[in-house]
């Protein structure tokens, strides 16, 4: 979980910088990378030691991560369809 958070924060920061620099295609690639990171984590979350040590509802965490993923996919699709 800690690794996911660190990677996602860095990639989201990078994607924002790319969009601000009008490097939209690269920004979309960064957002896609975040989606892949979330997918990868969800597939391996049962092995996450932090979740075994901390009383976190795994089902709720999974739903929240899937919701974030869905929002990012929506942004990617919307931006891709309106990009020149």
Average pLDDT over residues 9-22: 94
pTM, entire model = 0.86
> What pLDDT was estimated at residue 43?
93
The boundaries of the domain holding residue 46 are 2-82
Cα separation, 82 vs 74, in Å, equals: 12
Condensed to tens digits (0 to 9), the pLDDT of residues 23-39 reads: 999 999 999 999 999 99
Q: How many domains does the chain have?
A: 1
DSSP state of 78: H
Condensed to tens digits (0 to 9), the pLDDT of residues 43-63 reads: 999 889 888 898 888 899 999
């Amino acid at each position: 979980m800690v690794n996911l958070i660190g990677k996602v924060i860095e990639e989201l920061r990078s994607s924002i910088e790319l969009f601000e620099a009008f490097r939209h295609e690269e920004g979309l690639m960064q957002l896609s990378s975040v989606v892949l990171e979330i997918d990868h984590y969800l597939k391996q979350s049962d092995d996450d030691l932090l979740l075994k040590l901390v009383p976190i509802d795994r089902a709720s965490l999974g739903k929240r991560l899937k919701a974030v993923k869905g929002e990012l996919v929506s942004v990617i699709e919307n931006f891709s369809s309106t990009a020149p």
